[in-house]
Structure 1
Amino acid sequence: MMSEVAAKSASLLSLEIEGRVARLTLTDPASRNSLSSQMMQTISDTFDEIAGNADIAVVILGAEGPVFSSGHNLKEVMSDNRQEVMLALFNQCSAMMQKIVNLPQPVIAKVDGIATAAGCQLVASCDLAFATKSSRFATPGVNLGLFCSTPMVALSRNVAPKHAMEMLLSGEFIDGENAMRFGLINKAVEPNELEDIVQKFAKNIASKSTHTVKTGKAAFYKQVNMPLDQAYDFASEVMANNMQSHDAQEGIDAFLNKREPDWQDK
């Protein structure tokens, strides 16, 4: 199924829905799947469409070609680099990244290639990420005199500070196995294993109550930067409210009675 949004921008992105799994693919390998203003707008619009579709339980974000995403389109950046234009562009990118975090559905990055600068930020912004061992990741802005300050936000919330600074200060590539060691991705696998592991996780998530997953994802990102006592107070309230839902009571009853739950997603 091709969405209306994706159909309008088929040269940039495609959206296919298979059961409860949405597959979003960047389809502009000629530009190295760069995050031009148009690409970011198309991605944002498509995430809005996905957010409003209760039938979608999980999203797989991938890309065509050898480059997952090279980040901002530097030709576009240099065509008009006035401060107010740059601020609008980077704010647009930041808003798009936050849509991933705020999306009700979990997003899984599927990476087989290169992800640099804002492209690396895109991977870091996803809830889960899997990549081939030969994939490479970098925040190379420092090499160009433009520190990767906005990619730094997502990167520093996913990897240890010294690993983040290693990437940001060196501008050098790390491979899939080091990306896994750093915590940027969940697992690095051989190319013939990538689709299988992504599908395994997507199907597993899709088998859960979407109400429960949505509740948990939102709570995770809200509590993660709270002081410990506030985080526990907040999480306790979330769990107490969650317990009132149909699916929580259904799931516990199913467990106690050794049967499969009948999720109503409410």
Structure 2
Amino acid sequence: MPDFTNCKRLPGYAYNGANGKKLAIEYHGERYVLKFPASDLGNPPGCSQPNSCINEHIASTIFNMAGISAQETLLGTYTVEGNTEIVCACKDFTWNGSRLFDFCSIRNTVLDSPHSGTDTELEGILDTIRKQQYVAPEELLRYFWDIFVMDAFLGNFDRHNGNWGFLYHDDTQSITPAPVYDCGSCLLPQADEQVMRMVLENPEELDARVYRFPTSSIKQAGRKINYYDFLMAAANPDCNAAVIRMVPRLHMDAIRAWINGVPFLNELQRRFYQKYLATRLEKILMPAYLQLAEHPS
């Protein structure tokens, strides 16, 4: 696996975000963002996410496997003062001169909206999508709901307004949805091997992490959306259309086979990721999909 320790640093680039440190490097002539595992240091107790880098790589790749453009990622190592860590290298999709604008920034340009840029209430997000003038609302609505359905599959608890958005292309003066990025909060990044073993051996523990949590960071009536309840309610036609589009693209045999080749994982971890994803597909997405297929609107 690549060792990024001696790669050239690029001091002209810096990246924000709350989970883990980030470093810009040059690797094989291209710009990458190295993401380091989030730790308890400087955070409240229990905020450690030791699997965030591995989960970033797995979730980003599964987005691409499902036909949704996401950042390209590599797993490797980086050594600081004798301590070697597993890191995720994310290819910088702004390398060609494009500029990234997150959805929070776009929301602040909608002057007649009563909602702030950081507000994650679903009603306000959909209102901004309809009113913004950067991307065709129909295209952006499709993009938003496709990501939502994939986040339901991957168990993402942190898709807020600051980690999805648009690319502005200076050469053509056009704007397109950005590749999906910042997926380290998928797949239970706080789960250590003890939790993984418990989830694999106890169906009630597994069901709790499917039906009850993690929830979406998007809210409805002030409460974070429960993925299962929301998809089974089938109250939003655009979300329903995304379920019909996305579920047939999720091929568990291919995902299992790919996870078998992910570096740095032991057998317990491989079994956990495969079981967790298969169960979320079986118990959240498939019931919603079959319900819509049997009773199309």
Q: TM-score, normalised by structure 2?
A: 0.26
User: Greater share of helix residues, 1 or 2?
Assistant: 1
Per the normalisation by structure 1, the TM-score is 0.28
Higher relative contact order (CA 8 A, sep 6+): 2
